[in-house]
Amino acid sequence: MAGNPSVNKRRSGIAVLVFSREKIYGCDFEACGGCRTDCCRRDKPAIGPAFINDWRNGKITLDNIAKELGVSKSTVSRALSGKGRIGEATRQKIQAYAREQGIWQEKKQKEDPVRTENIAVVIPMDAYSTNVPFFQECLLGISEMATMLRYNVLITIGTPNDISNVQRLVEKKQVDGIVLLRDLEHDRLLQYLTEIHFPAGLSGTCDYEEIIQVDIDNKAASNSLVSLLIGQGYRRFAMLFGEMSFRVNQNRCQGCYDALDKYGLSRAHQLCYSDFDNTELLNSIISDMFAGKVECIICGDDVICTKVMSALQAEGYRIPRDISIASLYNSANLNCFSPAVTAISVSARQVGNVVGRQLINSLRGEAYNAKTNLGYEILLRKSTGKMYPV
């Protein structure tokens, strides 16, 4: 196929193209931009995926190349553009032929994007208004790890219906990654970050495989605590959970019900209050509990437990003699109460450490765990121990 470019010859009414080593024209995809000059000669190879884009002049086309190599036109296009699926052997064959003709070379790899060495942490709007220690401890853990790995931490506020703060950080390229501290059902922010393939971590669990997730098995932990209480002889429970759009509350609630089912206790004989956030209704709820002969109150988290303990003690109830109480999450908020409250202990600081490290490792191209389940400890204390002297 050496020699000068030849004209088309006809054989049985079919146009036959003779290739030239000097210059090959045609190809209806990405070109070097200089296809009508000598930049495409062998002694001056094109830059980038430089098949010559001069098909408008009626010269060589993808069909001609495909026939020469015995493959389809679309296969040639995929092999040389790098887009679409194609067998590796076929890709190499087409690319080697094109490279030999001096009409194509591999794209230069794009330079790595400039790193800001910043990560953002999205704090829920209610983190401080409701005094939730988990978020503060988790943020501290993230900051510790980021400092150790020479990253900076930016803090922004997030709400379920407004993700503009995070969008602004992403679009202005002010951060390399995002950490969310709450797992919501149908979370708009998680959906947005996944759709644009932006690096993100979550202190919780979600359905998006791209998101780095660090959590404990809240369902199993709740199941274990309620199972232990049933083993102590408790049979009638009242359960209070916060916002049920939070996955953590969904999992804790399901864990409690699983324990009841496992021991054959009827769900209908238990009281369950979900989406609890109105303290003004608490006294009425407590009255209902005593009317229903509830033996033990299960609080969905430390914030709810603090409110219930305060209300019970304000009314003069004796814990655990009159009624027992336990929390599905322990925090420093519960340390001020006497008797000490039975609770599930999780290190929020460790959660922050781990999610921070895994996200930064992924940003650096290092090995990381996409999903991590941390351990928990059940603290059996006097608030659920009728056998303990009070």
Segment 198-221 shows an average pLDDT of: 95
What stretches of the chain show up as alpha helix (H) in DSSP? 62-69, 73-81, 88-100, 133-148, 164-171, 188-195, 218-231, 247-262, 282-291, 302-314, 348-363
pLDDT at 25: 38
Reported as a single tens digit per residue, the pLDDT across 251-293 is 999 999 999 999 999 999 999 999 998 888 899 999 999 999 9
Residue 114 makes CB contacts below 8 A (sequence gap 6+) with 173
Choice among 49-53, 144-148, 295-299, 311-315 with the minimum mean pLDDT: 49-53
Say whether pLDDT at 157 is over 80.
yes
Reported as a single tens digit per residue, the pLDDT across 335-353 is 889 999 999 999 999 999 9
pLDDT at 13: 40
pTM tops 0.75: no
Say whether pLDDT at 169 is over 60.
yes
pLDDT at 48: 37
pLDDT at 52: 42
pLDDT at 45: 36
Query: For the range 327-331, what are the long-range contacts, defined as Cβ-Cβ under 8 Å and sequence gap of 24 or more?
Result: 327/299, 327/301, 327/302, 328/218, 328/221, 328/222, 328/225, 328/252, 328/298, 328/299, 328/300, 328/301, 329/134, 329/300, 329/301, 329/302, 330/302, 330/379, 331/133, 331/134, 331/137, 331/302
